[in-house]
Chains A and B, each alone.
Chain A
């Protein structure tokens, strides 16, 4: 187990280094000029030249590369070319925003996705199955952008139940930065009004973001569970007189979990690295929109930092998924 962990963590660092290298190479191959992109078409040549020398953009590429890797290894991602703020400060603000959105959204998709999938498999071929399959198909195929706008139209514009944008009411100031998650920071500061407002602002974006994962999880649960339900040991369990509930939740579902967990892990990685569309519709200042803007402006330090983050998250979530296999299925040994 320990060797497994050490090996996997070492491998994770190699993956991150590879991603940094690939990003750097790709970024330098793009036919555009970050200095120009930052200064705009009105800057004079001398302004552009000065900018390049200030940021080391006029150094030879290998030098630039080594400087980047060295700095990244020290956890120093530099300052954003566009805003001049330290990238690490930005990440400390934008990543928690995404995580705060992700957790409720993931809970929603797991609870309702697994629920729908189990119901569909258990009542296979009945109307329950049809409805569940229809719902998961809707979740899968509905564009998040459109869904977001519809949710805003109904629950904000018409009913006025939930706010349409941002993380907090415009009348309130964010709580002191502890974790960066407004709900938790509000509780730590003992500010119920902030907690309330932050939670309230989470509802619509979390629902919008959950639908795709919900659809995937529901379909995966159904098919995986159907496989298991037709297996011999389930027949044995039933024939020895176990209650149907126990057969379903204890024996069948646990054995059907591995593909479901794998799929959730994949989606988690994607969502962690940002949900650009949801973040745009709901004006949610998360890491996805931050990285998207940076990419458009060729803000190299931000792009590199984001790549490191995204790679790390994927590698880390994969590690968790692998670890969870041995917990779900004791026959799996980690070596």
Chain B
């Protein structure tokens, strides 16, 4: 026994000797991802995988830098017909896929057909695409039905893939090579997926013939490590073992801000808006006065303070910096307990119970539930904050509209917390998906049965409008009506926070990419 122990001690000492950590290669960018990227397939990827995959796959048009303006990417130029139903894309010549095949009209048509055939990921955005044809090698014409989301924004969500690599991988029952594409890539982006260790890391390597060129300083390699525990990512960032941490604990931010080796980039806005959705069709919350009373009793400031700076205010259904977004006058966005009590009295709900559901493990939602509980107890409303596992939660909120709207129904609920996803920087995505009556029952996110024919009409009119100013005007009118109906409580907006080593240059935050890192614009400062 003593001999074993000596051996073991010896081994430990040996390992200590090797502790002098190799300083990483300065041309490699190391990133700590906080959550897994489950698939490499750009056409089935959902929220967080989408921006990550933009390192590998590129759309025809994309969002320009830190703005929400569109810029040509694989299409050099787009001609749009006057009625905005015909789009002609002129492709950039000389672009190569990672497999060496050239980018041509066939690849574009294949990619859009793949999205339609798979019916996943970005499909919702291009549902209004009616037909497309390859005019010649470098020209594609697409015709759409009017009334959908802004089409070029929809196009910016579709990565172009190489049919030369994808097509041979199809199998019976897998017409679009989904099995292969889940772990393999063939795009045109600046980086190639060089290594994929599931549950552990991805490695991206520079694609030498990239059309954008490598004249400016860039990283030639990027290692994306999956670090689920935020404190671990924080320590690694402080030690310089990683260059960028997607997420660190909020309480670590003051120390990181004071650390000269680390830069904390914060943006006082975000696409992730947290709502408390109130059932607008059944139960006590079907009464608009009850919904307004709940709004008047909830103090957003208390909640924001309790999150330690992770959240900022939310003042309307559409983030103000997006197309068509603005902050409307919200008459009940203040705390007025007397007024709240009066409204409840009027509605005959002087003492009521409100069941509020949140996703298990979501500390922010839980916190918001507690704040709600504390404030609403002062106006005689008992709040039950109920945790629910994510799969069950998703099923419940999507099944909400599909069944009988009675309080005895298992899917009946009065209120639950909900985030909007970073979909598209346009009011359409928010308004249609959250508030149009057709977006009930799994078609969108209108899970609280909100239905106002005037709102529906305005959203539709906005989508059909050709003049952008008119479109925005319709959307604003819709927002004003929604605000008056109070179908939700605006809880807060997640602030975008990135922490990176100070010698990483070229970093900017994009409103719809959070959290994800685009490697190409970045470089190591000397």
Contact = CB atoms under 8 A, between A and B. Distances in A.
Nearest to A297: B391
B139 interface: no
B241 A163 contact: yes
B123 interface: yes
Interface residues of A, number: 67
B236 A164 contact: yes
Interface stretch (A10-18, A83-91, A133-141, A226-234): A83-91
A96 interface: no
Contacts of B39: 82-84
B227 interface: yes
Contact of B28 (A85, A115, A171, A196): A171
A32 B391 contact: yes
A44 to B, nearest CB: 6
Interface residues of B, number: 68
Nearest to B36: A293
Interface stretch (B72-80, B280-288, B392-400, B515-523): B392-400
Contacts of A281: 229, 232
Given A40-B394, A85-B182, A200 B198 contact: no
B328 interface: no
B238 interface: yes
Interface in A257-296: 280-283, 285, 289-290, 293, 296
Contacts of A324: none
Contact of B123 (A47, A153, A156): A47
Interface in B412-446: 421, 423, 433, 441-443, 445
Given A33-B391, A34-B391, A161 B47 contact: no
B199 A94 contact: yes
A256 B285 CA distance: 67
A90 B241 CA distance: 27
Interface in A1-32: 30-32
A157 interface: yes
Contacts of A285: 197-200, 226
Given A107-B8, A166-B225, A161 B232 contact: no
A305 to B, nearest CB: 14
A239 interface: no
Interface string B488-501: 00000000000000
A36 interface: yes
B213 interface: no
Contacts, number: 176
Contacts of B93: none
A111 B178 CA distance: 49
A41 B445 contact: yes
A47 B441 CA distance: 13
A203 B394 CA distance: 40
A100 to B, nearest CB: 13
Contact of B391 (A30, A94, A157, A280): A30
B145 interface: no
A321 interface: no
Q: Among A32, A94, A296, which residue has the most Cβ atoms of chain B within 10 A?
A: A32
A293 B421 CA distance: 21
A167 B236 contact: no
Interface string A99-143: 000000001100100110000000000000000000000000000
Q: Among A37, A42, A171, A203, which residue has the most Cβ atoms of chain B within 10 A?
A: A42
Interface in B201-226: 201, 203, 223, 225-226
A124 to B, nearest CB: 19
Contacts of A170: 24, 28, 30, 201, 223, 225, 241-242
A317 interface: no
Given A45-B442, A170-B30, A280 B228 contact: yes
B221 to A, nearest CB: 9
B19 interface: yes
Given A41-B397, A85-B183, A85-B198, A156 B390 contact: no
Interface in A135-189: 149, 152-153, 156-157, 160-167, 169-171, 173-174
B258 interface: no
Interface string B22-44: 10110010100000101101000
A281 B41 CA distance: 29
A167 B395 CA distance: 36
A31 B28 CA distance: 45
A57 interface: no
Contact of B232 (A54, A94, A152): A152
B113 to A, nearest CB: 16
B198 A283 contact: no
Given A37-B391, A84-B178, A90 B398 contact: no
Contacts of A85: 182-183, 198
B469 interface: no
A82 B21 contact: no
B81 interface: no
Nearest to B181: A84
A39 B120 contact: yes
A32 B389 contact: yes
A37 B390 contact: yes
Contacts of A34: 391
B408 interface: no
Given A84-B39, A161-B19, A171-B24, A36 B198 contact: no
29 contacts: A30-B391, A30-B392, A32-B389, A33-B395, A36-B391, A36-B394, A37-B390, A41-B394, A42-B445, A45-B441, A45-B442, A79-B179, A83-B38, A83-B39, A93-B199, A114-B1, A153-B235, A156-B236, A160-B239, A161-B16, A165-B227, A165-B236, A200-B18, A249-B1, A280-B228, A282-B232, A285-B199, A293-B36, A297-B391
Given A149-B232, A165-B227, A203-B12, 14 more contacts: A32-B389, A37-B391, A37-B394, A42-B433, A83-B39, A107-B8, A115-B1, A153-B235, A157-B235, A170-B241, A170-B242, A171-B25, A200-B15, A283-B232
The 10 closest A-B pairs by CB, nearest first: A37-B391, A285-B199, A32-B391, A84-B182, A32-B392, A285-B200, A161-B19, A33-B395, A32-B395, A170-B223
